Structure 1
Amino acid sequence: MTVTVRFAPSPTGRIHIGNARTALFNWLFAMNNKGRFIQRFDDTDIARSKQEFSDAILYDLHWLGIFPDATEYQSRRFEIYDAAVERLKAAGVVYACYETPEELDLRRKVRRTRGLPPVYGREALALSPEQIAEYQADGRRPHWRFLLPNFSSDPLQPERTEVHWNDLVRGEETVDLASLSDPVLVREDGTYLYTLPSVVDDIEMGVSHVIRGDDHVTNTGVQIALFQALAAEPPVFGHHNLLTTASGEGLSKRTGALSIESLRESGIEPMAVASLAVLVGTSENVAAVPTMGELAERFDAPATSKSAAKFDPDELFVLNRTLLHHLPFAEAQDRLIVLGVSDDKAEPFWLAVRGNLDRLADAVSWWRILREGPQEKPEFSDGDRDFLGQAFDLLPEEPWSGTIWKDWTGKVREATGRKGKALFMPLRLALTGLPSGPELADLLPLMGREGTMARRP
C-alpha cells in the first residue's frame, strides 16, 4: 500500500503558521514513507471559498518547499457526493430534518436546563407523514443528518457506543458516539458540510493516513462510523497539538495572524518557518534546520506533545539569523542577483556580511556601503579627525594581500599609539558609517585602495 496523505484547508483566507504545521506534518510523513501528498481544497462553502485563496495557498506551500503530487477541489466533485448520499439514504442511515436554527437552539437550551448534554434528540425521526407534508407546504426544505450507530434497536434510545482507534500521535483514543449529535451532512440548499465530502474523498483518493490538528479528535469518531457506513476501511488517524501564541491565543486565517504571506514579506526564510512549525511542541529542541530532508530525519509524529504548543514569534527571527549566517553563496546567489548584488565581488561580499544579517534583503544596505561608502556621513571630534588623517596617510599601496587590514592597523597603532576601541571605532565609522557590522578585514579588500581612500573624512 502506498502511503497517501492530504492537506485539506478551506480556501477562505491565507494560511498561517498553524496551518503550515499540519501541511508540513503530512509532507514530512509522506517523505519518510516514500508516499504521496494530495493538496485538496475543501471548498464546498461556495459563498466564502475563493480561487484566489486556493492559488495563494499553493504559492505558500511551494515557498515552504511542499510540492503536491495532485491537487483536487471538492467543488468539482458534487456528483460523487450526491451518489454517496443516495447510498446512505438507501441504507436508512441518513434522514431528513426540518427544524430551523432557532428551534434547534431552543432545544439545546432546554436540554442544558435539564442537565442533559445539548445533543440533537432525533425528533425528526418521530415526524408523521402529515407533519412532514405540513412543513413542506410551509416551504421548509430539509437538511439531512447521518444516523450515528449508537443504539441497539431504537434510535430514540441511544446508549454508550465507543469508537476506538490507535492515533498516530496520541496513542489509544476513544469517542462515545452517544455523546454526540447526528451530524448534518447536507444543508437545506443542497450544499455539503465538511464531514461527508471529506470521508468520500479520503475513500476515493486512497488516503491511508489523515494527519490533522487535535481539534478534530471528536470528529474522528463520527467519521470512522461514516467510513464504515460506506463499507470502507478507515485510514490511520493522527492528531497533532495546535500552535498558539505565547499567551495561549489561537491562530485564525481571518485575522491574518502570522500568515505565511506576512512572514515571507517580512523576510523570514522558509526553513525558519518550517523548523519552528514542525519542532515546537515536540520532544525535539527547536533549532534552525537548513533543508527539508534534514527536517524529515528529525520529524517523529508520536514525539509530539498532547498539550498545545506555545511559541514566541520572535523565535522565528532567531532561527532566521542562524540560517542566514550559514547560507552558502550558491543558495543565496539568485536572490542576491534580484537585489542587485551580482558582480565578481558578490561571493566574497556575501561571505563577509551574512553573519550580520537578520534578513537576506539586509545585504542590500551593506552592498551600497561597499560600493558608495557610508550612507550618512559620521561626525568626528577634532582628535578623531586628526587621527583618521594620519591613518589614511598610512594606507598601503596596492596590490593588497589578505592581511591588509592587520597590516594597516598595525602601522596606525605604531604611529599614533592608539589601540582597542580608540583605534578601531573611528576607522569603522569612516569606512562604513556604522558602529558595528561585518569584519573590516573582510570588507577592506573588497573596497580596494581607491574605494577606501574615497572615505577619508
Structure 2
Amino acid sequence: MSVAVRFAPSPTGLLHVGNLRLALVNWLFARNAGGSFLLRLDDTDEERSRPEYAEAIERDLAWMGLTWDRFARESDRYGRYDEAAAMLRAAGRLYPCYETAEELGLRRASQVSQGRPPLYDRAALRLTDADRARLEVEGRRPHWRFLLEHRPVEWDDLVRGHQRFAGADLSDPVLIREDGRPLYTLTSVVDDADFAISHVIRGEDHVANTAVQIQIWQALGADVPGFAHLPLLTDAGGQGLSKRLGSLSIGSLRDDDGVEPMALASLLAKLGTSDAIEPRATLDALVAEFDMGKVSRATPKFDPEDLKRLNAKLLHLTPFDAVRGRLEAMGLAGVDAGFWEAVRPNLARLSEVADWWAVTHAPVAPVVEDAGFLAEAAGLLPDEPWDAGTWGAWTAAVKARTGRKGKELFLPLRKALTGLEHGPELKLLLPLIGRARALKRLAGETA
C-alpha cells in the first residue's frame, strides 16, 4: 500500500506551532515512506473561514518548505458529500432529528445530574411519520445523525497502541446541520476515502472522533486508514494553543521574531520524541531520521526560549552561500564571506547582520569612559593594512604601555570602537572598522 497523508486545517485563523507540528509530522512520514502529501482546506465553516487565512496557511507551509503533492478545498465538494449522505440514508444509517440546541442541552444536563454519560438517547428514531410532519409544519428542520452500531471499535494506533471503544459508549454524531450543510465528521471521512488517504495523523483530541468515523468509513464501503494520534502541543506553561487567539502563530515567529524555518522544523520534529533536539540544515536530514515509533505519549511543551537558542545555533552553523541571497534582499549586498564569518557567532537572528554592518560601516557614537587611556591606545594604533592579528599586536602594545590587562584593558576599547559592551571578536571587527574610523572613535568622535 502506498503511503498518502493529508494536512487538513480549517482556514478560520492563523496556524500556530501546534498545527504546524502536525503538518510537519505528516509531511516527514510521507516523505520518509516515499508517499504523497495532500493539503486540504476544511472550509465548510463558511461563517468563520476567511480567504486571508487560507492564503496564510499556504504561505506558512511554503516558508517551511512543506510542499504538497495534491490540493483540495472542501467547499468544492458539496455535491460529493450529498452523494455520501444519500448513500447513508438509503442504508438506514442516517436519520432525521428535530430537537433544538436548547432541548439537547437540557437533556444532557439531566443525564449528567443523574450520573449518566451525555449520549443522545435516539428519541428521534421513535418519531412516527405523523410526528415528523407535524414538526416540519411547525417550522422545524431536521439535522441528521449517523446511526452507530453498538459493537466494539478497535484499531492499532501508531502512537497510542491498541485502542478499543465500546459502541454503546458512543453518541450518534450529527453529520448534517439543519441548513443542510455537512459537518467535519462526514466530510473528513468522504475526503479521506476519495483521496485514498492511507494514514490519518492528527491530534489526540480526535481519538473519540476516530472511533465514530471508522463506522462511517465502513458504512460507505471505504477502506479504513491507519491512525496516529499525537499528544497536543502546549505552551511552556502547559496551556493549550489556539488559532483564534493567535497563540505562537507561524507568521509572528517568522515576521516578528526572525525565526529560521529550519530552526522551527528542527524543534517541532523532535519535540515529544526520544531524539535529541539539535539544528538540522535541511528537511531531508529530518526525513532520514524520522521514526513514528519514537513519538512519546507524553505532552510536549513548546518553549520560545528553546527556539531562540536553536535559532542562534543554526545561524552559527550556516555557511555564507546559504544566506547570500537573503542578505542581498535585505539591502546588504556588501556583506561578504569574511564579514559573515566575523559576525555569525553573535547572531540570534539574521536581521542582526544589519546591526553589525552599521557598527563597522556607519557612524557610531563611541562610549568614552577614560579619554586619557583611549588617547594612549590611539597613539599605538598600527598603520594599515590590518588583518586578524592586528588586534592582538595592538592590545599587547597597549598593555605594555599602560599596565592594563583583562577586562580593564579590553572593555574600554570595545565600547569606544563599537559603542557596545559585547559583540563579535574585535580581532575580526577591527579590520572591518578601519584605521581612520577607529582613530575618530577613540578620540570620542561619532564616526
Same fold (TM over 0.5): yes
C-alpha distance in 2 between matches for 1:359 and 1:269: 8
Match of 2:416 in 1: 430
Q: 2:366·2:417 contact (CA, 8 Å) conserved in 1?
A: no
- Correspondence for 1:211 among 196, 201, 214: 201
C-alpha distance in 1 between matches for 2:385 and 2:48: 67
Moved more, 299-308 or 23-32: 299-308
* Paired residue secondary structure (1:454): helix
**Cα drift, residue 373 of structure 1:** 4.2
* Paired residue secondary structure (1:228): helix
C-alpha distance in 2 between matches for 1:110 and 1:399: 88
1:263-274 residue pairs with structure 2 within 5 A? Answer: 263-265=253-255, 266-274=257-265
Match of 1:158 in 2: none
**Cα drift, residue 347 of structure 1:** 2.0
C-alpha distance in 2 between matches for 1:226 and 1:235: 12
- Correspondence for 1:379 among 368, 373, 385: 368
Match of 1:312 in 2: 303
- Correspondence for 2:398 among 391, 408, 412: 412
Q: Which amino acid aligns with 1:244?
A: T
**Cα drift, residue 110 of structure 1:** 2.1
Q: Which amino acid aligns with 1:163?
A: V
* Paired residue secondary structure (1:6): strand
**Following superposition, which runs of at least 4 residues in structure 1 exceed 4 angstroms of deviation?**
none
C-alpha distance in 1 between matches for 2:315 and 2:228: 34
Match of 2:231 in 1: 241
Match of 2:243 in 1: 253
Match of 2:285 in 1: 294
C-alpha distance in 2 between matches for 1:387 and 1:297: 57
Match of 1:164 in 2: 154
Q: 1:373·1:432 contact (CA, 8 Å) conserved in 2?
A: no
Match of 1:154 in 2: none
Q: Which amino acid aligns with 2:185?
A: T
Match of 2:51 in 1: 51
Match of 1:41 in 2: 41
Q: Does 1:280 align with 2:256?
A: no
1:121-136 residue pairs with structure 2 within 5 A? Answer: 121-136=121-136
C-alpha distance in 2 between matches for 1:310 and 1:456: 48
* Paired residue secondary structure (1:255): coil
Moved more, 270-279 or 239-248: 270-279
C-alpha distance in 2 between matches for 1:342 and 1:453: 27
C-alpha distance in 2 between matches for 1:98 and 1:116: 22
Q: How many residues align?
A: 442
C-alpha distance in 1 between matches for 2:67 and 2:209: 28
Moved more, 221-230 or 413-422: 413-422
* Paired residue secondary structure (1:40): strand
C-alpha distance in 2 between matches for 1:177 and 1:349: 66
C-alpha distance in 2 between matches for 1:294 and 1:169: 22
C-alpha distance in 1 between matches for 2:134 and 2:389: 96
Unaligned runs of 5+ in 2: none
Identity value in percent: 51
Moved more, 235-244 or 107-116: 107-116
Q: Which amino acid aligns with 1:379?
A: V
- Correspondence for 1:341 among 332, 335, 341: 332
**Cα drift, residue 340 of structure 1:** 2.3
* Paired residue secondary structure (1:455): helix
* Paired residue secondary structure (1:49): coil
* Paired residue secondary structure (1:389): helix
* Paired residue secondary structure (1:268): coil
C-alpha distance in 2 between matches for 1:331 and 1:32: 25
Q: 2:368·2:412 contact (CA, 8 Å) conserved in 1?
A: no
Q: Which amino acid aligns with 1:417?
A: G
C-alpha distance in 1 between matches for 2:419 and 2:386: 23
Q: Does 1:200 align with 2:190?
A: yes
Deviations 1:341-364 (A, max 9, x none): 212x43211111111112111121
Deviations 1:127-185 (A, max 9, x none): 011111100100111111111111xxxxxxxxxx2111111112111122211111111
Match of 2:139 in 1: 139
C-alpha distance in 2 between matches for 1:285 and 1:456: 47
Deviations 1:1-34 (A, max 9, x none): 3211000011000010000110000010011011
C-alpha distance in 2 between matches for 1:279 and 1:262: 21
